[in-house]
Every structure is written in structure tokens, then in C-alpha cells.
Amino acid sequence: MIYVDADACPVKGEIYRVAERHGVAVFIVSNRAIAVPGEARIQRVVVGDAPDAADDWIAERAGRRAIVVTADIPLAARCVQAGAVVLAPDGRAFTEDSIGMALATRNLMTDLRAAGAVTRGPKPITAADRSKFLAALHEAVVRINRTR
């Protein structure tokens, strides 16, 4: 299954393509209704407005046979700890080896912003990022399907 932290996910179309190709279920999780294709394997989950409600819903279900797509570093950490494959929308994989540095960087940037430093937001997703994401998602699905 693929769980998508969907409120700001720029690669939903790519996720739908890979899911269709492999027959994988997709859960589009958000705080508000988002349009999704009318396919049985794609389900929209609206969790409400509570802080971190979407993150909590995904983290409670993430496990060894799950793929999570998120740019949210704390959610990624929770899902990596649960054994899920976690991908950022740019195709970068969060792993046990990389999540600590990602959390530290996120926390440093949060502290800098709180101190008044002007920081840039995330860079826009490029065509190369989309291609890297498609390849990483395809590889993750194939790897999980081999372990059945």
C-alpha cells in the first residue's frame, strides 16, 4: 500500500501511474477533500483539522509492507521507525541511516526561523525530480512485491 501525505504533495499523478501499473492500493490522506481519480484502488481519506491528524493516521498504518510519500521529516522518521519505505516527492529515500541528519537539519532550520533568520522554502520540484521519484517508487513497489 502507498500512503500519501497529500495536502501539498506535488507528485500525486506519478503515484497514480505507478499504482495503476502495479495494482497497488493508494490512500490519499489530507485535512481537506482533494480530488482523486475514480478508481477503486485509490481512496481519499479526510482526517479533519486537528494538528498532525494526517501524520498520525499514516503513522498508525505504516509498516514493513507500506510505502509512505511525504516531505514531512517528523512523519518520515515515525514511518522509517515502523519499517516503511519512505520517499520524498523529489525521489529521495528516507532511511534509518539518513533520517537522523534530516531531523537535525529540519530542527536547525526551525530554530533559525524562530530566531528571525530569513530562510528559503523548499525548491520547486523539477522534471528530473519527478523522474527520480517515479523510478524510486517503482523500485520500492517491486522490492516489496518480491517479499510476498
- Is 62:3 a contact under the CB 8 Å cutoff? yes
Looking at the DSSP bridge assignments, the partners of residue 27 are 3, 43
- For the domain covering 2-146, report its CATH number: 3.40.50
Provide the pLDDT for residue 148. Answer: 65
For 78, the grid coordinates are 515515525
pTM for this predicted structure: 0.85
- Is 58:52 a contact under the CB 8 Å cutoff? no
Ramachandran region of residue 40, left (φ > 0), alpha (ψ -120 to 50) or beta? alpha
The alpha carbon of residue 83 and the mean position of all alpha carbons in its chain are separated, in whole angstroms, by 14
- Is 90:125 a contact under the CB 8 Å cutoff? yes
Provide the pLDDT for residue 138. Answer: 96
The 10s digit of each residue's pLDDT in 109-124 is 666 677 877 767 677 8
CA–CA distance, 82 with 32 (Å, rounded to integer): 26
Confidence of residue 48 (pLDDT cuts 50, 70, 90): confident
Name the residue ranges covered by the structural domains of the chain.
Answer: 2-146
User: CA 39 → CA 19, 31, 124, distances in Å?
Assistant: 11, 21, 29
* Range 13-18 average pLDDT: 95
- Is 73:103 a contact under the CB 8 Å cutoff? yes
